[in-house]
Chains A and B, each alone.
Chain A
Amino acid sequence: MFKPKEDRMAKVKSLADLRKMKENLQSKVHLREKADNPEALVQIKVGMGTSGIASGAKEVFNYLVDELEKRNIEAVVTQTGDMGYSYAEPTIEVTLPGKEPIVYGYVDVKKADEIIEKYVKLGEMVDGIIPANYRTIEENK
């Protein structure tokens, strides 16, 4: 049950207060709001099969979630099963709004940073694309 926290401002004293509080609390429901309309946002799927996890997919997943938020990029990061590229794990699939999905292999934290900075922000191509496989992860299953 609800327990008021000690460190919190007890009362909302003005509309400005309320709006500031909303800014701070938005993250509580933001994940859900984004999920309602993912097509309009950057979507990243991280392959989390056994081989993906073994080669560090979890770390990449956490990094992407945290960094995209820090860099103020509206994105939906989800995990998915094995992508079928076990030779190139960790793999991630990036879909920019209105674009075809692109799959990157051997993604570590450094590569993830590059993908965010170049591909997600600027739309520039980044090395490491797993080519010519025009199937999305879902179809590949």
Chain B
Amino acid sequence: MANYKMQLLICGGTGCRASSSNLIIDELKKQLETKNLADDVQVVETGCFGFCEKGPIVKVSPDNTFYTQVKPEDAEEIVDEHIIKGRKIERLLYTDPETKKHISDSKHMEFYKKQVRIALRNCGFLDPENIEEYIGREGYEAMGKCLLERTPEQVIKEIKESGLRGRGGGGFPTGLKWQFAAANKADQKYVVCNADEGDPGAFMDRSILEGDPHSVLEAMAICGYATGATKGLIYIRAEYPLAIKRLVIAIDQAREYGLLGENILDTNFNFDVELRYGAGAFVCGEETALIHSMEGERGEPTVKPPFPAESGYWGKPTNVNNVETFANVPAIINKGAKWFSSIGTDKSKGTKVFALAGKINNVGLIEVPMGTTLREVVFEIGGGIQNGKKFKAVQTGGPSGGCLTEKHLDTPIDFDNLIAVGSMMGSGGMIVMDEDDCMVAVSKFYLDFTVEESCGKCAPCRIGNKRLYEVLDKITKGNGTDEDLELLDNMSRVIKDTALCGLGQTSPNPVLSTLENFRNEYEQHVRDHKCAAGACKDLLDYVIEPENCVGCTACARVCPVGAISGERKQIHEIDPALCIKCGACIEKCKFNAIFIQ
């Protein structure tokens, strides 16, 4: 085996690939080849580094130089300057927005300082398509330990003591769930990994599967041993082709090495994993709907109990866990429950991965200890709001969650605290909003999503959410009344109480939490017919600022409906009754004289 002196790690996640990271890899390899360095320098395609905002990322090891926004054309310079001459390429280094200094080691970047990587420990570090790298970093050691040195009861005890709770949204204690599945006797049991990940803006699970598929496979085998299951199934949406490809490779390799299959490590333990593809319906992430979908039925939920642990896939005891939940398991076994439970808050242990999106400077994937405050996430790791605008809210928990505001910024993030303030952890999507976002429009956006995704089985969800959407739509068009606000509140509570599954039981949350935290915005819409954020188009008026208008007539000439009047060299005026708010006049005006109010 060649003894490499240096390694170039390049992000091969979906995001960086979209910005041609695969071409960078090709080019780097070519450059190394022509310069006779291919035996000294290895090019490794890894999973996501998380700093998607600045991708594609190329990291040089062992000097830990972190190059950002690299282009295929930069490959030659990286090889000539950095590899051959040892000189860092300043222009590709990250510039600290505060000090304006270049930072070459990611450890010193605000984005990484507060992060602790457990679930993402191998993402951006290992080649996910090479099982040998995983084995070289303690891979399958945890499974080996469990199979040979522990009883299933001991494994469950360890997971219970670690305090690990489900990362798929509910936060149910994982060890306890395993115990239920273990307690149910049956000739066949199953382990299911939920990789449906349907929240808009979320890509935590995808990144784990793309960057470290073996961790999930290893954890599923451990779960199989603990619960007495011999078959594992991963339910993954077909929209995740790269994650699927890497999983297929990983499963093949694990079988090849005898780490999946029969008589694993000569212990008589059999376990194998197969993939099941979903068509991307949000409700199929709900575990009972997911199981029906895997059975070839419609992806519709059924009432619990029975829980999957009693009667799941084909009526057999089935343990369903989320991707990120599984990714924590090998680390817990290797490092111990004590270590894991020393991280986090009283009732939420360990870390949580979040996908930061929206109006934030550092869009990306982060992992922080439970108990980190929203302020730290948004303003330190996230680098604050884009374009110096004012922070308004963070939506957590996706369509099932709620909005957190200024006053929640210092709340330590964990399962229970988020619920206490009217939102929820959800699977980890975090969408940041600024002063230009209208909260009525935001809840309308989520309801639009839920209406679309409702499976239609129960009336509260099918009809109720549609009615909620209609009322919100009415309000954003300026036709709402005070009674509508009462109606929203009432209907939301009824839907929550009566819907069949978690989708309907949580879908009114965005409405309730914005009603609670931004009631004045709703009132402004219904009483003054105004949208202060300027997002609801129907409520905007285009006006001409007399101070700036020089009477050039450009706006009047471009207006398609003749809503602008005024003589040459006289101040012009817009008739709101005629204006269709197309914006053509604003674009035309050279004097900044037209405003939206």
Contact = CB atoms under 8 A, between A and B. Distances in A.
B256 A10 contact: yes
Given A12-B257, A13-B265, A53 B85 contact: yes
A63 B147 CA distance: 43
Interface residues of B, number: 45
Interface in B14-31: none
A31 B130 contact: no
Interface in B123-155: 125-126, 129-133, 135-141, 144-145, 147-148
A122 interface: no
Given A35-B64, A81-B85, A13 B266 contact: yes
Nearest to B4: A31
Given A15-B148, A81-B86, A22 B136 contact: yes
Interface in A23-60: 25-36, 38, 46-50, 53
Contact of B86 (A1, A22, A48, A65): A48
Contacts of B4: 31
B7 A50 contact: no
A82 B64 CA distance: 19
Given A2-B131, A18-B265, A11 B258 contact: yes
A1 B63 contact: no
Nearest to B46: A32
A62 interface: yes
Interface stretch (A71-79, A97-105, A110-118, A124-132): A71-79
A106 interface: no
Nearest to A9: B257
Contacts of B88: 81
Interface string B76-91: 0000000111111000
Given A13-B266, A14-B265, A48-B85, A1 B133 contact: no
Contact of B1 (A27, A35, A80): A27
B133 A22 contact: no
Interface residues on A, range: 35 or more
A70 to B, nearest CB: 10
Contacts of A46: 86
B253 interface: yes
A29 B147 CA distance: 25
Contacts of A18: 135, 140-141, 144, 259, 265
B85 A26 contact: no
B132 A65 contact: no
Chain B at the A interface: SS class = loop
Contacts of B144: 15, 18-19
Contacts of A69: 3
Given A12-B265, A18-B144, A47 B62 contact: no
Contacts of B83: 79
Contacts of A77: 5, 62
B63 A28 contact: no
A50 B80 CA distance: 11
B137 A66 contact: no
Interface string B34-65: 00000010000000000000000000011110
A23 to B, nearest CB: 9
A12 B131 CA distance: 12
Given A12-B257, A12-B265, A80-B86, A2 B130 contact: yes
B9 interface: yes
Contacts of A17: 265
Contact of A22 (B130, B138, B258): B138
B62 A29 contact: no
A80 B147 CA distance: 47
A14 B266 contact: yes
Contacts of A19: 141, 144
Contact of B259 (A12, A50, A61): A12
Interface string B242-258: 00000001001100111
Given A18-B140, A81-B86, A31 B62 contact: yes
Contacts of A32: 7, 9, 61-62, 125
24 contacts: A1-B129, A2-B130, A10-B256, A10-B258, A12-B259, A15-B265, A17-B265, A18-B265, A21-B135, A22-B138, A27-B3, A27-B136, A29-B136, A33-B137, A35-B61, A38-B64, A46-B86, A48-B84, A48-B85, A65-B5, A77-B5, A79-B83, A79-B85, A80-B87
Interface of B: 1, 3-7, 9, 40, 61-64, 83-88, 125-126, 129-133, 135-141, 144-145, 147-148, 249, 252-253, 256-259, 265-266
Q: Which 10 A-B pairs have the closest CB atoms?
A: A79-B86, A48-B86, A25-B136, A11-B258, A81-B87, A35-B62, A78-B63, A15-B144, A35-B61, A80-B86
Given A12-B140, A49-B85, 6 more contacts: A15-B144, A19-B144, A22-B136, A29-B137, A48-B85, A80-B87
